[in-house]
Structure 1
Amino acid sequence: MILFPAIDIRGGKCVRLTQGDYNQEKVYSDAPEKMAQAWQKKGAKFLHVVDLDGAKTGDSMNQSVIKSIAELVNIPVQVGGGIRSIEVIEKYITAGVNRVIIGTAAINHKEFLNEAVSTYGDRIAVSIDARNGFVATDGWTKASNIKATNLVKELESIGVKTIVYTDILKDGMLKGPNFEELQTINEITTMDVIASGGVSTKEDIQRLGDLNMYGAIIGKALYDGTLKFEEALEANSSVS
């Protein structure tokens, strides 16, 4: 299982939100590029970067910072947040980003998603952000009547290879992921599933590994120091 340290960027700074609430922000670093290099030094094999400004407004406002990250580290980087045009995808891919994550646009603009997948193949992932089993959009600010499980099946039929599944109510709460929902999602699809939201202990990582997750994104627990990345790697290596 791949462990992805999360680097959430807002206003050019590395921050964390609680349950996706833009009013509950904590700044961890003024230099996300240095944070990226630090995670690589600690043993990260892949980074998960989110443009929070982009997720909310649809404008990829932190592109220059993210480009710097991709250039400064020699590990793959996946990026999400506000990616709603082929032009933005092309900019990120050209800048050295390994995988681009489409969120809201995958739900609101299916023709865009189809074009992205047919053009870039497995370098496109889709993030499914769910609250009580239903998909939320626009930086988690809008609820929909789309069931997450239905969206999973639709994405697979389109040809998507990787999804990032976030349980919004678990995000930033340090109380563990929604294992039951993740297990359900993983069982109904052949896509690679990356778990996000609430991953905060070694036991969480071992359990996700036992569920055969492709990856797990770790955010607040690393930044608050309740879980050291070295411990996370150790827990991951112990999964059979």
Structure 2
Amino acid sequence: MILFPAIDIKNGKCVRLTQGDYNQETIYSSSPADMAAKWEKKGAEYLHVVDLDGAKTGTAANQDIISRITGDVSIPVQIGGGIRSMETVEKYIEAGVSRVIIGTAAINDRDFLMKAVSTCDDKIAVSIDARNGYVATNGWTETSRVNAADLVKELEALGVNTVIYTDILKDGMLKGPNFGELQTINNATSINVIASGGVTTKEDICKLKNQNLYGAIIGKALYDGTLSFEEALEGEANAG
């Protein structure tokens, strides 16, 4: 299972939000690129970067910073937040991003999603951000009537290879992931499922690996010292 340290960018800084609330922000670094280098040095094999400004506005607001990250590290980087056009997808891929994550547009613009998948194949992933099992859009500010498990099945039929599933009510709360919902999502599909939201302990990581998930994103627990990345790697290695 791949462990993805999360780097969330807002106003050019590395931050964390609580339950996706833009008014509940903690700043952890003024340099997201330095943070990326730190996680690589600690043994990360993949980085998960989110442009929070982009998620809210629908534009690639922090593209220059993300380009610097991909230039500074040798490990792959996946990016999400505000990706709603082929132009943005192509710019990120040209900048060295390994995987581009489509969120809101996967719900609201299916033609764009289909074009992105057909053009870029496994360089495209879809972020499914859910509240009580239903998909949230527009930087988590709106909840749709789309059932998350049903959406995963649709995405697989469209040729999507990877989904990132975030339980918003767990995100930033340091109380563990929603294991039941993650198992439901993983059982509903044969594509890669990356867990996000609430990953806090070595035990959480062991359980996610034993659920046969492809990956897990770790955010707040790393930044506030609840879990070190060395401990996270240990938890992944000792699963089974």
Q: CA deviation at 1:239?
A: 1.5
Paired residue type of 2:30: D
Once the two structures are TM-superposed, the CA of residue 86 in structure 1 deviates from its matched residue by 0.3
Aligned to 2:179: 179
Number of residues of Structure 1 aligned to a counterpart in Structure 2:
240
Name the aligned partner's letter for residue 96 of structure 1: G
- Give the AA of the match of 1:86: M
Residue-by-residue CA offset, 1:156-193 (whole Å, 9 max, x unaligned): 00000000000000000000000000001101101100
CA offsets 1:186-239 (integer angstroms, 9 cap, x no match): 011011000000000000000000000000000000000000000000110112
Displacement of 1:41 in angstroms is: 0.2
Query: Under a length normalisation based on structure 1, what TM-score does the superposition of the two structures give?
Result: 1.00
Superposed CA deviations along residues 49-102 of structure 1, whole A, max 9, x for unmatched, are 000000011011100000000010000000000000000010000010000000
Displaced runs of 4 or more, over 4 A: none
Match of 2:15 in 1: 15
Question: Is the aligned partner of 1:60 residue 2:60?
Answer: yes
- Alpha carbon RMSD of aligned pairs, Å? 0.4
Determine if the alignment matches structure 1 residue 141 to structure 2 residue 141.
yes
With normalisation by structure 2, the TM-score equals 1.00
Alignment of 1:180-219 (within 5 A): 180-219=180-219
Residues 65-214 of structure 1: pairs in structure 2 closer than 5 A: 65-214=65-214
Secondary structure, aligned partner of 1:169? coil
Gaps of 5+ in 2: none
Distance 1:12 1:90 in 2: 22
> Structure 1 residue 130: deviation in Å?
0.4
Identify the residue that residue 232 of structure 2 maps to in structure 1.
232
Matched, 1:33 2:66: no
CA distance in 2, matches of 1:179, 1:216: 12
Identity of aligned residues (%): 70
| Partner SS state of residue 170, structure 1 | coil
**For the residues of structure 2 that align with 1:144 and 1:7, how far apart are their CA atoms?**
26
Letter in 2 for 1:223: Y
